[in-house]
Structures are given as C-alpha cells and as structure tokens.
A and B are shown apart, each in its own frame.
Chain A
Amino acid sequence: MTGRSEPTTAGALSVLAQDGPAKWDWDFVWEIFPDLLDGLWVTVQATAVGIVIALALGLVLAVARRSTIKLISWPVAAVIEFIRSTPLLVQLFFLFYVMPQQFNVTLSAFATGALGLGVHYACYTSESYRAGIESVDRGQWEAATAMNLATTTTWTRVVLPQAIPTVIPALGNYLVAMFKDAPLLSTITVIELLAAADRVQAITFRSTEAYTMAGVLFLAVSIPSAALVRYLERRFRYERA
C-alpha cells in the first residue's frame, strides 16, 4: 500500500461495534480498490514472468527429454518428475529460504516467486510440448530429411509449428492455473492480490469486501485469459493433410 492513505481503523472499530454481519459498503470498496489493484498488478507481473519462463524452459526441457544422448535425457526426465511430484509451496520455500543459506543465492521475493512459478509450470508445459511433438507424424521428420533440412530448421519450421497449435489449449490451461496459483507467493512476502486483501482485512477487520473484490479481480483476469486461449486455439487451428 504505497503512497496512499491506508484503510482507517475507524472502519474496523465500527465493524466491531456492530451486531451481526457487516453490511456491504461500496465506499469502503472504492477506498481499498487502489491497494487491491496494486496487488493485482504484482500478481499479473509475476504470472507474466512465470509464463515466459514456463513456455521457454518447458520447450527446452521437452526437446532435451527427446535427446538420444542419455546423459541429457535422463537427468532432464528426473528433474521434471521431481518437480511435478512436489508441491509448488515447498519449492517456493526452498528457493526463498534454502537457496540463500545453502547456495548463497539471494533473489528478491518477487524474482523468487516468478522463478518458482515459471520452473514449476515449465515441467508441466514440457509434457504438453512433448505430447505435441510426438503427435507430429514421423513422415514429417522424414520429409525434412529428404529435403536435407538442418536439425534446427526441422524443429523451427516443420515440427514445432505443427506441434504447438495442438497443445495451445493445454498450455493455456496451465497458464490460467499459474495465475490462480500466484497467491502462494504471499507466503514468501510478495504483496500480490491475496496478500493485499489480507492486509486490508488485518487493518480494518472487514473481510467481506476485501476478499470478495480479490475474487472479482481474479475473475476479471482469468475469464478474458481463458477467452484469449480459445481465440488462439481457433487462430492456429488448421486441418492436417
């Protein structure tokens, strides 16, 4: 809550003095709205950075896991399975508390959170990419060989343009799920949307408006995001030969 007057404790005292449930107060909603928007902005930023990491790293992991060099494919498979099998919260705590102590690597809470989200979801997106890559007909690889295309060209011009459209719905779902997992970042002191609502509630004791508006703001982002995913799915759809 920066640069603005914080919700006053007067509201809190009036809540305590009331009998029965507090009534919905639109004035209070407008009072706390800027703080919640700040929280939402942090959530969106963390998710955006996480998405970039998840999409890029996921692709690298998927390609590495297909490597014929066992020294590459086995460790990558092990890391993917390890991360997929442990909770995101544990990974966030590990990055935030253990890394500085054991490895002398200290990142800001925001950077740690975005990285944690990105790496965690990269392991899921990598599996989606892998499914997409495996859905590309073997004949496509063979045609690329017959045209003497280099390995990089085969991947970038032939395989991935066919693999990725088929997995856009799955990728999109993970990305929306990542946005909804972002409140976990509050546990490592990132003041994202839920943490902002928590602070309002802690100061004013008014939970109804704070958490309801937090929910509304999450919806306001996740519903258009899901619509965007559906649009992209249609945009990149083509019939296979």
Chain B
Amino acid sequence: MFEGVPLTWFLVVATIMFFIGIYGFLVRRNLITILMSLELILNSVCINFVAFNKLLYPQHLEGMFFTVFIIAVAAAEASVAIAIIINIYRRLVDIDVEKMQEMKH
C-alpha cells in the first residue's frame, strides 16, 4: 500500500508537523495547550523513526522499538505534567504561563 511513496515525503510531513508544534510551543500561553504542542512534536519524531525503519532497514525493528519507548515516555511525561498543572491551578487558580512568577524568586 505504501509502495511508491518515497521516504522523503514521510520526512517532509513529519517536519511540517514538528514545526507546527514548535510554533504552538512558542505562541501558546495556557499550560495545557503547550503540553499538546509537545505531543505534536513527539509524534512527528515517531513518524520519522517508523519511516526510516520501514523504508531503509526493514529487516530490523529498531525504529519500532524506539517509537514504543517514546510513546511510553510521553505517557509518563503527560501524567506528571498534568499533576503539576493541577497543583498549580489549585494554588494560583490560573494556568497562564505569564502569570506564574511565584517560583521565580
């Protein structure tokens, strides 16, 4: 089904997704939307790994295992980040990054 689709196109799609994630990471001010941009970035890296694995070295499974581990790390990171966000919300009643200056000094 993917015969005829070169590796380059997968990489281009993943690159576009990665930089959309970067844009969101820079622009957004709500902590949860920043977390969502982070998920976009991680996901684009996963696409890269999988495409390299399948289209360059189909006899090995390295890219697949890296993607599995990235997904596990992303799940752990999301749970810890959301715990921190809920804790911040309980203390400051706002999760805007520009208003969080209590831990600065």
Instruction: Decide if A and B are genuine partners.
Output: no
Residues of A within 8 A of B (CB): none
Residues of B within 8 A of A (CB): none
